[in-house]
Amino acid sequence: MYKKKELLEKISNIFKKHKFGSKEAKISAEVIINAELVGAPSHGVSRLKMYCDRIKKKLINPKAKINIKKISKSISLVNANNSIGFVAADIGIKQAISNAKKTGIGLVGVRNSGHYGLSSYFIQKAINKNLIAICFTNAPPAIAPYGAKKSLFGTNPIAFGFPSFKKKPFIFDSSMSKINRGKIRVAAKLGKKIPYGVALDKNGNITTNAKKALEGVQLPMGDFRGSGLAWVVDILSGVMTGSAHSGKVKDPFDDFSGPQNIGHLFIVFKSNLFNKRFKNEINKNIKTVKRLPKLKGVTEIKYPGQKKYERYQNNLNKNIYLSKKVAKELEILLRE
């Protein structure tokens, strides 16, 4: 059990010991803590050792000079130069927000980046400024293209966020796989099983063994539709930004042969461009959906992001629980 402030400081110190500046260490620690607070530990402290391993092997550059190139008033390209993904994405979304505030719309590509955690963390920054945000990022091979028996596309999340109620953000943030790869990694780490029907082993048989699933293929949500969307994300975030694509993004946990070269694409625009009453209307929209007759056993129809937000609110003033294994990793990293 850790107090939030204490854990934030510990993680921040670990990054600083790995030559991060204090600003970069703080941003990175915040994204990791946020994942714990919203109930996505697969994207939280359990990844800290991996990040440190990659820094030690010079695959993540703690002192990367991140370059922002202005293409037009609305459009910018961020070259992350192998910085940690958190910092690159933070700069990317902030640039997109700044462009959108000036011109109504911001389009920002980020190249040579790395895994940045949850898209919803960055989407939230746009929502806080009354902006709509769409974000795409590619990832290491996890999903087979439709008809293929080998993984190539990442879980390649797509995220959309909208300002709505004052404090309740509508954020759809979903990988294109049936379940997050991070969840499978945590299961593998803790020796737990994964649900039936979400992954195949390397021989093409359905498996509930997390380790075998990681060696095999994850199944896309919605079959060929999910596989097609994962392909779209690979093009938007990989091909378009000039980053790695078509299976060349390196797995951060297993592949230390080079930097990840992940790409991100952020599209941000003002929510009230066409409709001054956007917030009122989205509130009406959500209320209408919530009033629908429910299926048996359902007590509330929730909008995308609501559960994460509720967990966040609920966890905000509580201690953070880390699994034994993850806590041990943290303590080792602190003593190194």
Place of tokens 């954020």: 171
Query: Residue from 85, 145, 252, 259 that binds a copy of itself (CB under 8 A)?
Result: 145
Contact segment (CB under 8 A) with a copy of itself among 17-25, 36-44, 169-177, 185-193 equals 169-177
Return the H-helix or E-strand segment holding 77.
strand 75-79
The 60-79 contact track toward a copy of itself, x by CB under 8 A, reads -----------xxxxx-x--
In terms of CB distance, is 49 or 302 closer to a copy of itself?
A: 302
To 5 degrees, how large is the angle CA 157–CA 230–CA 59? 65
Site for a copy of itself in 313-332 (CB under 8 A): none
Cα–Cα distance, 74 to 105 (Å, whole number): 6
| Part of the chain binding a copy of itself (CB under 8 A), chosen from 8-16, 88-96, 252-260, 274-282 | 274-282
- Interface residue with a copy of itself, options 50, 104, 212, 215 (CB under 8 A): 104
Applying CB under 8 A, among 19, 63, 149, 325 the residue interacting with a copy of itself is 149
Report if residue 239 touches a copy of itself, rule: CB under 8 A.
yes
Q: Are 235 and 156 in contact (CB under 8 A)?
A: no
User: What residues are paired with 111 via a beta bridge?
Assistant: 79
Tokens of 113: 């980046």
Binding characters for a copy of itself, 195-234, by CB under 8 A (x = yes): ---------x----------------xxx-xx-xx-xx-x
> Are 2 and 334 a contacting pair, CB within 8 Å?
no
Segment contacting a copy of itself by CB under 8 A, of 19-27, 28-36, 142-150, 186-194: 142-150
Residues 250-269 that bind a copy of itself (CB under 8 A): 267, 269
Mask of contacts with a copy of itself, 110-139, x by CB under 8 A? -x--------------------x-------
On whether the CB atoms of residues 108 and 79 are closer than 8 A, the answer is no
Q: How many Å is the Cα radius of gyration of the chain?
A: 20
Q: Which of 13, 39, 53, 172 binds a copy of itself (CB under 8 A)?
A: 172
CB of 319 vs a copy of itself, minimal distance in Å: 30
- With 0-12 / 13-18 / 19 or more C-beta atoms within 10 angstroms meaning exposed / middle / buried, residue 240 is middle
Beta bridge partners of 68: 78
| Strand, coil or helix: 205 | coil
Helix (H, G, I), strand (E, B) or coil at 25: helix
**Site for a copy of itself, residues 20 to 59, rule: CB under 8 A:** none
